[in-house]
Structure 1
């Protein structure tokens, strides 16, 4: 099986393209970097599942680790080889508290069949998160103001 994917610029002109060919235990990627054609073969690995069947993985061509996702820059590699961080890994305490507050609020909004004890626990958690976020904000403001 083979297929391709094409990216366009703002005017709709082709900007980049990648073609993928599948093999029994590998995929071949064809793309261009700065106009230079690149063909790269990526091995596929399998691990057995508990209740039968198998799960397919890519083998990172750089570090040979088993990974679910590969990324393309000047080459194809895994998140660790490119030293990519998840957005949450670069958040400060205030950002983490905002995210946590959003999760609790979404859970409260969508909790249709929620017991009163669960609702009370989530409201208590929301209050704790708001207090922690406010304390982190005050501490950051004091540092910035030199208090």
Structure 2
């Protein structure tokens, strides 16, 4: 049976950020910590060893695969900073047109540094992702996901 690898942990978010090698990336991580927490309304929690997530929801696909994931999050990785938003949200693509310098995958958006992006668009992406996931999985979000 499938075992979900990325689960919420009790590990310290601050301790994780303090282990980031690059001082500039560490500074950006603290700034993102504040932006995500303030915009989402949820406290930061570690998900697995390297993702800082906010809120959570339970997904269940038609295939039967299910699990829990943060509504939004980020990870200050060595190469780039990964930003996690809802996959499948059509509004995300429209918002990314005005986001600034980035690359995008299915559920991730990658940036080099905060100075490359529009922080107001980042806040819109965070809010839109939470709204989209709460609408997509209305009966499957955690009790504390009251939305924004």
TM-score range, shorter chain: under 0.3
Which one has the bigger strand percentage?
1
TM-score by length of 1: 0.24
> Who wins on radius of gyration, i.e. which is larger?
1
TM-score by length of 2: 0.24
Larger RCO of the pair (alpha carbons < 8 Å, separation 6+): 2
